[in-house]
Amino acid sequence: MTSAVRTVDGVIEAQLPSGLYRVAIDGRQRITAHVGGGPERNFVRLLVGDRVVVELAARDLTRGRIVSKR
């Protein structure tokens, strides 16, 4: 059984330790996200202020995976 995934746009607010980022969604909600990917993804450098697309799992809306940079 798979859980539903919700995709939202956000802006990176801070780079945290261990490859995590604080991302602002809708300007008021903040989540912790990591860069999703595998061997097929190229290295993408993310900086504070970058606009990104984040996938949120249905179970925990405070954690996410960054899937692309805008």
Verdict on whether the full-model pTM lies above 0.75:
yes
pLDDT computed for residue 58 by the predictor: 86
Domain span at residue 27?
5-69
Total domains in the chain come to 1
Beta bridge partners of 53: 9, 68
CATH number, residue 51 = 2.40.50.140
What torsion, rounded to 10 degrees, do the Cα atoms 17, 20, 21, 25 define?
A: -140
- Token pair of 18 as six digits: 């261990």
pLDDT computed for residue 27 by the predictor: 78
Looking at per-residue pLDDT, the higher value among 37 and 64 belongs to 64
- Reported as half-sphere exposure (CB side, CA atoms, 13 A), residue 14 has a value of 7
pLDDT digits (tens, 9 = 90+) for 19-62: 899 999 987 899 999 998 766 566 678 999 999 999 998 889 89
Looking at per-residue pLDDT, the higher value among 44 and 1 belongs to 44
Task: Specify the DSSP class assigned to residue 46.
Answer: -
